[in-house]
Amino acid sequence: MLSSEMSFLLTVLAAGLAAYLLIYYCLFKGARFKSNVTLKGKTAIVTGSNTGIGKTTAMDLAKRGARVILACRNHQRAEAAVYDIRRESGNSEVLYMHLDLASLKSVHNFAETFLKSEPRLDLLINNAGLIGSGRTEDGFGMAFGVNYLGHFLLTLLLLDRLKEAENSRVVNVSALLHRLGSIDFNLLKTHKDLVTGQSYWHSFRAYCHSKLCNVLFTRELASRLEGTNVTCYCLHPGVISTEIGRNMGLLAKLLSVPMSKLFFLSPEGGAQTTLYCALQEGLESLSGRYFSCCALQGVSKLGRDDALAKKLWEVSERLCGLQ
């Protein structure tokens, strides 16, 4: 017979396992997007698609028959992703185009190359994102520059091509953490960033701010696209186990990796709301809105501020040299 100590230990372990499964399946597992829609003859761009939810998203689109452009910074990893997606999807129309969102010049070059070589664009999925310190080529804070400003410029440069498609969409991957974000335009003017330091805490705050920018960008973009055939959406993909924190310090990685392995969604699970926003029929009336778990969700008070969204747009145009 088991000793009382062993019985107690087994009871604790069983209770812990039950609690883990309850938390995972109720809070973290997320929803699944189920649709048989095909994309033959359509073209999609997915940024940051050589890994994580971006690669999973690109894989799904390729399986549906789309021509998929992997817009990525790392040539070697992107070509490896192209090979994987072509092999698994059976779709040869998957290709890599270089895009470094930390360089406005690279964004311009990508757009120029795409517009010269590709006759149509149906889906622009602004997926790439990071948490980390440092500066972009143009001197902006890394999270602000990559997660938001580079995507802002990319979208504007491709808008005319999107408008030429019958029904096209822009999907911006934001995050629940936008609720912790804010925008200090004076700080942006003096520091070219929304934080003042380079610590992990500052990097985390910068990430939250950049995701609020994504929400506000989507809101203002929808307003400016009203009456066109282009709609846009932003989303929280869930809490995902990806390489988004690859630029974090060692201590932060040691703390986050065990949690991510236990609780966080897989890239496949994390791609579901992106696919929902890109492919779900009948979303046109919800352009500019925010989704999570394949359903419409509310945003923070700042995320609903139309004046803030308009000011961010105007400031961003100046930062990108479009004014």
What 3-state DSSP class applies to 277?
helix
Q: Is there a contact between 272 and 32 (Cβ–Cβ < 8 Å)?
A: yes
Of 24, 25, 83, 207, the active-site residue reads: 207
Cα-based distances in Å from 84 to 11, 299, 315: 44, 36, 40
Q: Which residues pair with 232 in a beta bridge?
A: 170
Residue 288 and residue 215: Cα distance in Å, rounded? 8
Residue with tokens 């999807």: 89
Phi/psi-derived region of residue 227, left when phi > 0, alpha when psi is between -120 and 50, beta in every other case: left
Give catalytic status of residue 276 as yes or no. Answer: no
- b/e for 171-206, b at 16 or more Cβ within 10 A? bbbbbbbbbebebeeebbeebbbbbeebebebbbbb
- DSSP-derived secondary structure letter, 266: P
The catalytic site residues sit at 207
